[in-house]
Amino acid sequence: MIKDELTTLIAKAIKKAQRKRDLPKYASPPVMVERPKQATHGDYSTNVALQSARYARMAPMKIARAIVKRLPSTEFIGQVGIVHPGFINFTLDAGWLAQQVETIRTAGERWGDVDLGLGKRVQVEYGSANPTGPLHVGFGRNVVIGDTLANVLAAAGYEVQREYYVNNAGTQIQLFGQSLYARYAQALGQDAALPEDGYRGQYIVEWAEEIARAEGDKYLQMDHEDAVQALADLGVREKVLGSVRSDCERLGIHYDNWFLERSLYSEGVFDHVMSLLRQEDHLVLREGAVWFNAKDLGGDKDEVLIRSTGQPGYFASDIAYHYDKFIRRGFEWVIDVWGADHQGHVPRMKAMMQALGLAPEQLTLIIYQLVTLKEGGEDVRLSKRAGTIVRLSEVLDDVGPDAVRFFLLTSAIDSQMEFDLTLAREQSQENPVYYVQYAHARIASILRHAAEQDWSAERYADGDVGLLIHPSELTLIRKMRELPEVVEMAAMKLAPHHLPHYAQDLAATFHAFYRDCRVVSSEPSDAELTKARLKLVESSKIALARVLGLIGVSAPERM
RNA sequence: GCCCCUGUAGCUCAAUGGACAGAGCGCCGGACUUCGAAUCCGUAGGUUGCGCGUUCGAGUCGCGCCGGGGGCGCCA
């Protein structure tokens, strides 16, 4: 990338300046090349002269001049400027920029790809929640972040696997089964009580009725324990995962693998990992329970693995699960996407990594802040067990998948966001996603119009992009060229929110170009310019479609 | 009490330690007689919660205070 090439060139220039005695000998701080916020400061900028002042014991402006003096000329750099207090600003060469249109057209749907991952395997696990009810709208943030992160990492050259972990073992599933059984029995006219901490949501009633209608009273005939288990399994498999799949489908999310917690037990992974931990002396017996000695490995406290009842807890499964990911399946890097309500688990997960003989950095825990829900300015309190949830599917009905996805993605992972259902419904048409999509549809329309005027792709194939010299044309090309850098940044920082912001920016830049430059001209003398601009328009379509694709929303030809 | 995240325009949110803190929505005013007005142009709106400090330079880093969210279970 240009940014990296520039960094290297500057570093070389510094060394050369030192050899030629323009600069004293000193260990240069790392060269940082950034994109200035302000267009008048050029396309790239470095503060290395400012950073070096204290080591070189020279005025930054003088250092900057010395560096620039030794900078070799290259095809892509147009102008180099030195600005007080010591910034060196680079402007890309206009002719070189124009040629980038061809680069983008050649890259096609791979425009934006970056060689960062070098094919390294990474697993992104997201969406995993207790499968005891439909997906909640706040949880939508989890799947959208995870899925977009996976898209970005794939674009950045990683080999990505997307996984959903089905927690189909443990006490919550037990409770879910009991709740379902009670509602099922009620549906068949029996007098049955919900368990103490049972799931009280209306959806359990609905599911129970559906099961009663489809299967009759066969579960009442069975042994109670077996019936609860069978209903729990059926509920998870058909009802919960059914709704998860359908929500994900609507959001354009497709998993590579659905991993069952229970398989860890049936395939012996759990037992194996426990004996491993025992061998390595990470287990302690205390008060009839088996504890993991997390404190010895930097955890904040020890954790129960197997309760005194003999039942393994959630964390025990998690250890076995991650053993499976890293050791059995050989992932070098694993990313788990968790809500802030799980932040307290981070230390014990890091301790677990050490206990398994793995580097803690191999496991990245993305902790996103929770979405607080409002309805007309009032807080909406939520509880899956109490049944007061707002289903993701309802919001998808009201607002639409593209707007939901875009909205949930726009905030940084660390910032909590407020989702006002009333406002979201009212303003769904104002969602910025439509602004971006409109730009894409507008481009499609221009290309259609061009084809009608006999400007088909074949007829402008020999257009000369060197004719693109209008400031708005060049601004648009500059903006398109940022895409790979945005992808790289989003991948390195695991920060998907940069994408929707960039998308809006790109769309705005296109609209400005459209305002200033007539594309399809009826003047015969404009024929060559029309060809060049059609190429530019085509390349913007490529860039817009790509970023929309990464965000996971559609790029419509018409709207 | 301790730990994590956070406080930026009326609202929802951006800003890899850099240059005049930016968008969208909302408000007000303007632009469709050749490519899509779901667009564009313009106006207003800020002591970046408060106070110290580090730095050539702080919305960004450190410390303290105040406010918001989350966590600290043989639940997940």
- pLDDT value, residue A469: 95
Provide the CA A508 to C1' B30 distance, Å, integer.
20
Distance of CA A8 to the CA centre of its chain: 30
Proximity of residue A429 CB to strand B below 7 A? yes
Proximity of residue A554 CB to strand B below 7 A? no
Any idea which nucleotide's C1' is nearest the CA of A492?
B16
Residues 6 or more apart whose Cβ sits within 8 Å of residue A524:
none
Any idea which nucleotide's C1' is nearest the CA of A167?
B76
Provide the CA A414 to C1' B62 distance, Å, integer.
20
Strands (E) across A316-369 are located at 333-339, 363-368
The answer to whether A531 and A472 have CB atoms below 8 angstroms apart is no
Tokens of A439: 């730009």
Q: Which of A214, A215, A213, A203 is nearest to A244 (CA)?
A: A203
Alpha carbons within 13 angstroms on the beta-carbon side of residue A145 total 30
Identity (one letter) of the amino acid at A538? Answer: E
Burial of A374 (0-12, 13-18, 19+ CB in 10 A): middle
What is the C-alpha separation between A343 and A345, in angstroms, rounded?
Answer: 5
Q: Which of A95, A101, A103, A66 is nearest to A78 (CA)?
A: A95
CA dihedral A178, A182, A183, A185 (to 10 degrees): 130
Q: Which A residues 75-134 have CB within 7 Å of strand B?
A: 83, 85, 87, 89, 129-130
Proximity of residue A442 CB to strand B below 7 A? yes
- pLDDT value, residue A385: 61
3-state secondary structure A25-61: CCCCCCCCEECCCCHHHCCEEECHHHHHHHHHCCCHH
Tens digits of residue pLDDT in A108-132? 999 999 999 999 999 999 999 889 9
Tokens of A220: 């009442």
Instruction: Count other C-beta atoms under 10 Å from residue A220's C-beta.
Output: 15
Q: Which A residues 482-511 have CB within 7 Å of strand B?
A: 489, 495, 497-498, 501, 504, 508, 511
The answer to whether A349 and A363 have CB atoms below 8 angstroms apart is yes
Q: Which of A331, A330, A332, A304 is nearest to A318 (CA)?
A: A304
- pLDDT value, residue A39: 87
Proximity of residue A410 CB to strand B below 7 A? yes
Proximity of residue A393 CB to strand B below 7 A? no
What is the DSSP annotation of A221-258?
Answer: HS-HHHHHHHHHHHIIIIIIHHHHHHHHHHTT---SEE
Q: Which A residues 280-299 have CB within 7 Å of strand B?
A: 286-289
What is the C-alpha separation between A228 and A247, in angstroms, rounded?
Answer: 26
3-state secondary structure A58-97: CCHHHHHHHHHHCCCCCCCEEEEEEECCCEEEEEECHHHH
- pLDDT value, residue A84: 87
Tokens of A195: 């368990």
Bases of chain B with protein Cβ within 7 A: 3-7, 11-16, 18-26, 34-41, 56-57, 68-76
Any idea which nucleotide's C1' is nearest the CA of A287?
B74
- pLDDT value, residue A388: 66
Instruction: Count other C-beta atoms under 10 Å from residue A89's C-beta.
Output: 19
Provide the CA A367 to C1' B4 distance, Å, integer.
10
- Residue with nearest Cα to nucleotide B40 C1': A515
Provide the CA A416 to C1' B68 distance, Å, integer.
10
Between CA A426 and CA A434, with CA A430 as vertex, the angle to 5 degrees is 135
Any idea which nucleotide's C1' is nearest the CA of A130?
B76
Residues 6 or more apart whose Cβ sits within 8 Å of residue A308:
A287, A288, A289
Any idea which nucleotide's C1' is nearest the CA of A438?
B38
Element housing A444 (H / E): helix A432-452
- Residue with nearest Cα to nucleotide B72 C1': A344
- pLDDT value, residue A170: 86
**3 state DSSP class of A24:** coil
Identity (one letter) of the amino acid at A450? Answer: A
Residues 6 or more apart whose Cβ sits within 8 Å of residue A252:
A147, A401, A405, A552, A553, A554
The answer to whether A88 and A48 have CB atoms below 8 angstroms apart is yes
- pLDDT value, residue A201: 87
Low-confidence stretches of chain A (pLDDT < 70) are 381-388
Q: b/e string for A254-291 if b means 16 or more Cβ within 10 A? A: ebeeebbbbbbbeeebbebbbebbeeeebbeeeeeebb
Identity (one letter) of the amino acid at A62? Answer: K
Q: Which A residues 184-243 have CB within 7 Å of strand B?
A: none
Strands A289-292 and A303-306: antiparallel
- pLDDT value, residue A233: 94
Provide the CA A155 to C1' B75 distance, Å, integer.
38
Proximity of residue A252 CB to strand B below 7 A? no
Q: Which of A63, A58, A62, A59 is nearest to A31 (CA)?
A: A63
Tens digits of residue pLDDT in A4-45? 999 999 999 999 999 999 999 998 999 999 999 888 899 999
Any idea which nucleotide's C1' is nearest the CA of A523?
B34
Proximity of residue A314 CB to strand B below 7 A? yes
Provide the CA A450 to C1' B33 distance, Å, integer.
20
Any idea which nucleotide's C1' is nearest the CA of A41?
B19
Q: Which A residues 161-180 have CB within 7 Å of strand B?
A: 167, 170-172
What is the C-alpha separation between A150 and A341, in angstroms, rounded?
Answer: 22
- pLDDT value, residue A299: 85
3-state secondary structure A367-419: EECCEEEEECCEECCCECCCCECCEHHHHHHHHCHHHHHHHHHHCCCCCCEEE
- pLDDT value, residue A381: 67
Strands A257-260 and A363-368: unpaired
Provide the CA A326 to C1' B42 distance, Å, integer.
58
The answer to whether A22 and A66 have CB atoms below 8 angstroms apart is yes
Q: Which of A311, A310, A323, A328 is nearest to A282 (CA)?
A: A323
Q: Which of A231, A238, A259, A239 is nearest to A127 (CA)?
A: A259
Proximity of residue A531 CB to strand B below 7 A? no
Proximity of residue A434 CB to strand B below 7 A? yes
